[in-house]
């Protein structure tokens, strides 16, 4: 696995985003976002609908190609490489290798419906990391246990509740042992009574030292788990700081307005 940059990694952030811009046609969705995330840090991103939170996460693992700006993980450029002083796009194979290190948890789970829970968790270790079936299943069962779903290993996704599906999706990401995990509103497609079980798993990962970027509307959860909170609006970071301060003593009027709006719901 590519660990380029590890040597120099001690002092530098795990994730570095430099002046990221993204346009869809004429629509400017990200207008210059810069952000550093340290190893082991938990950063929550909040903001109104359409502010570009999902787009930011999708750019980080290059599901969306940025219009400008650069992303580094452990000092390695994501999605592109430098040739002289020009940036050129990576090949599919090179990009795939970089994505192994970035886990993405989707709002709508995106489990593979033709595979069992265990199949979902083992397919990437087998097909990407080339682990043997035995090794992949041993790892997969560990991960399912971690999310409390050992007993559902042989169930197909359609027979699982939303909360269980999302926990399988988290196990699927964990089985790749990523350096960085991205959560895009992991609980907002869930019925209220199922949110707790997913947040519990995320909290546990946080306590184990994972590096996490979490887009969420769960203010309480964000305040407890994250070291830092970022408020985004209209494609910009409007305010960021320690979670207590941004969430409970926001400086910007727009942040206050948004938090009030969310609490009224």
Partner 1 sequence: MTFFQILEKNGWYFFTTLLSGWPATLTVASGALVFALIFGLVIALMRISTWRLLRWPATAYLEFFRGTPALVQLFVIYFGFPDWGFQPSPLQAAIIGLGMNGAAYISEIYRAGIESIHRGQMEAALSLGMTPIKAMQHIILPQAIRTMLPPMTNFSIVLLKDTAIVFSIGVLEVMALARQLVTETLTSAPIYLMAGAMYLCVTIPMARLAARLERQRQAWQ
Ligand X SMILES: Nc1ncnc2c1ncn2[C@@H]1O[C@H](COP(=O)(O)OP(=O)(O)OP(=O)(O)O)[C@@H](O)[C@H]1O
Positions that interact with partner 1 (CB under 8 A):
61, 63, 92-93, 96-97, 99-100, 102-104, 106, 108, 110-114, 123-124, 127-128, 169, 172-173, 176
54 touching ligand X, by CB under 6 A: yes
Q: Which is nearer to ligand X, 108 or 133 (CB)?
A: 108
131 touching ligand X, by CB under 6 A: no
CB of 58 to partner 1, least distance (A): 8
As beta bridge partners, residue 44 has 214, 229
Contact 112, 157 (CB under 8 A): yes
Closest-CB residue for Mg ion? Answer: 54
196 SS3 class = helix
CB of 178 to ligand X, least distance (A): 21
Q: Which residues bind Mg ion (CB under 5 A)?
A: 54
53 touching ligand X, by CB under 6 A: yes
List the one residue from 1, 49, 83, 134 that touches ligand X (CB under 6 A).
49
Strand runs (DSSP E) across 202-265, as ranges? 211-215, 228-233, 236-242
187 touching ligand X, by CB under 6 A: no
- Cα separation, 150 vs 145, in Å, equals 5
61 touching ligand X, by CB under 6 A: no
Per residue, the 3-state secondary structure of 58-98, as one string, reads: HHHCCCCCCCEEEEEECCEECCEEEECCEEEECCHHHHHHH
Contact 71, 95 (CB under 8 A): no
Contact 67, 87 (CB under 8 A): no
CB of 102 to ligand X, least distance (A): 17
CB of 112 to Mg ion, least distance (A): 22
User: What are the distances in angstroms from CA 40 to CA 103, 175, 209, 233?
Assistant: 14, 18, 5, 26
66 touching ligand X, by CB under 6 A: no
55 SS3 class = helix
Instruction: Report the site for ligand X in 3-42 (rule: CB under 6 A).
Output: 24, 27, 29
Please give the structure tokens belonging to residue 135. Answer: 């090794």
CB of 192 to partner 1, least distance (A): 23
**Binding residues for ligand X (CB under 6 A):** 24, 27, 29, 47, 49-55
């Amino acid at each position: 696995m590519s660990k380029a940059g590890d040597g120099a990694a001690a002092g530098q952030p795990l994730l570095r985003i430099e002046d990221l811009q993204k346009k869809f046609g004429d629509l400017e969705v990200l207008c210059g976002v810069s952000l550093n995330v340290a190893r082991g840090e938990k950063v929550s991103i909040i903001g109104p609908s359409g502010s570009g939170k999902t787009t930011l996460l999708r750019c980080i693992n290059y599901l969306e190609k940025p219009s400008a700006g650069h992303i580094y993980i452990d000092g390695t450029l994501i999605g592109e490489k430098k040739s002289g002083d020009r940036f050129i796009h990576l090949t599919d194979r090179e990009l795939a290798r970089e994505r192994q290190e970035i886990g993405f948890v989707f709002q709508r789970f995106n489990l593979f419906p033709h595979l069992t829970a265990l199949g979902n968790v083992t397919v990437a270790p087998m097909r990407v990391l080339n682990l043997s079936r035995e090794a992949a299943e041993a790892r997969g069962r560990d991960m399912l246990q971690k999310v409390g779903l050992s007993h559902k290993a042989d169930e197909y996704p359609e027979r699982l509740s939303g909360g269980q599906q999302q926990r399988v999706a988290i196990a699927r990401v964990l089985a790749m042992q990523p350096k960085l995990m991205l959560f895009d509103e992991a609980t907002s497609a869930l019925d209220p009574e199922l949110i707790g079980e997913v947040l519990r798993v995320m909290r546990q990962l946080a306590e184990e030292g994972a590096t996490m970027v979490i887009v969420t509307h769960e203010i309480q959860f964000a305040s407890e788990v994250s070291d830092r909170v970022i408020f985004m609006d209209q494609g910009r970071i409007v305010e960021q700081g320690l979670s207590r301060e941004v969430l409970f003593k926001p400086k910007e009027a727009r942040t206050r307005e948004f938090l009030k709006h969310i609490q009224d719901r």
